[in-house]
Amino acid sequence: MFPPPDEQAAIVRFLDHANRKIDGFIRAKRKLIALLGEQKQAIIHRAVTGKDEVRMMKDESGSSSFILQPSSLPKKPFGIPWLGDIPMHWEVRQVRRVAPFITSGSRGWADYYSDSGLIFIQSGNLGRNMALNFSYTQHVRPPMGAEGERTRVQREDILICITGALTGNVVHVDEGLPGPSFVNQHVALVRVRQSEVSPRFLAFALRSELGQSQLKTSEYGGTKQGLGLGDVKDVFFSIPALEEQNRIVKHLDSSLAIFNTAIARTEREIALMQEYRTRLTADVVTGKLDVRAAAAYLPEENLEEVAAEADLSEEETELEEIG
């Protein structure tokens, strides 16, 4: 059974109007997330290239805290023209010089997918906040003697997505794992000498504009898709003494937590609005909600503005899928 044509028209008019309002809300929230992400990247980049320095401040009670302020220290060239200057006492290294162990996952383990067993870390498990995301977990049960022990993940390892839409995404394993975990072939595993470099500092450097620009250049510089382990090893980064690295990491974690909270809250608002859209549509098309009176009072829509909003929404969706 269908409602009369005039009621069908009212339903369509109401839902079109509601969807445009919801789409506008979601667009605004996604723009906010993008701006917060850009601000995060700027803070990370300035910290891991020495453009900002960590300074200790004391309040009236005598309590000490660390803040990042523009550096006034003497500078020297990074060594690569487009990467600018770094503090005089910092050094320039390549990942290969501080990470004696770099590998990627075993091929063929997809044949051993299981509902339980070992954890098989895939690119989708590499969250955008440098933390593992196990909202979806793939398990495997490889046969006895199967090659792969070298790809077992340890605490303080760095994981990098090397193929697919998330190429360049970086995770620092700073917490215990829920069980024996191994990377698949789309993820590079980097294990550093911790006497020289803080794993989390290097993860921030790889996540920064400094690291990402080099990874993207390697990925798209030729005809290949994705990154090779050699591309990861070749990345240059700047580095102070270990004590200063740890101070920078501590301050970045504190500063970025505010942005991460704001982004998570905004993403939740988007999810709730999408849930509301689904419920509203279901209630209207099943007759649980009579919208005839509401539809009659809706303003006339500007067709050109509606078309422009639709084009913008489609373009943003494509960019979101790419990024």
**Structural domains for the chain:** 1-90+240-323 (1.10.287.1120), 91-239 (3.90.220.20)
Q: Which residue has the higher pLDDT, 255 or 144?
A: 255
Find the mean pLDDT for residues 240-269.
93
Average pLDDT, the chain: 86
Lowest mean pLDDT among 36-50, 57-71, 196-210, 258-272: 57-71
Q: What is the pLDDT of residues 287-298, one digit of tens each?
A: 899 988 888 888
Mode of pairing for the β-strands spanning 181-183 and 118-121: parallel
pLDDT band of 198, cuts 50, 70, 90:
very high
Percent of the chain with pLDDT over 90: 54
> Global pTM?
0.81
Q: How confident is the model at residue 322 (pLDDT cuts 50, 70, 90)?
A: very low
Q: Residues 98, 100, 104, 106: what is their CA dihedral angle, to the nearest 10 degrees? A: -170
pLDDT digits (tens, 9 = 90+) for 2-12: 888 889 899 99
Q: Tell me the average pLDDT across 193-200.
A: 96
Is the alpha carbon torsion for 161, 164, 169, 173 positive or negative? Answer: negative
What pLDDT sits at residue 323? Answer: 38
Predicted confidence (pLDDT) at residue 172 exceeds the cutoff of 90: yes
In this structure, of 14-23, 83-92, 266-275, the range with the lowest mean pLDDT score is: 83-92
pLDDT tier for residue 117 given thresholds of 50, 70 and 90 = confident
Is residue 56's pLDDT more than 70?
no
| Mean pLDDT on 110-126 | 90
* Confidence at residue 318, expressed as pLDDT on a 0 to 100 scale: 43
pLDDT (0 to 100) of residue 176 = 83
> What's the rounded mean pLDDT across residues 155-170?
92
pLDDT of 57 above 80: no
Give the pLDDT of residue 321: 40
Residue 299: pLDDT band by 50, 70, 90 thresholds?
confident
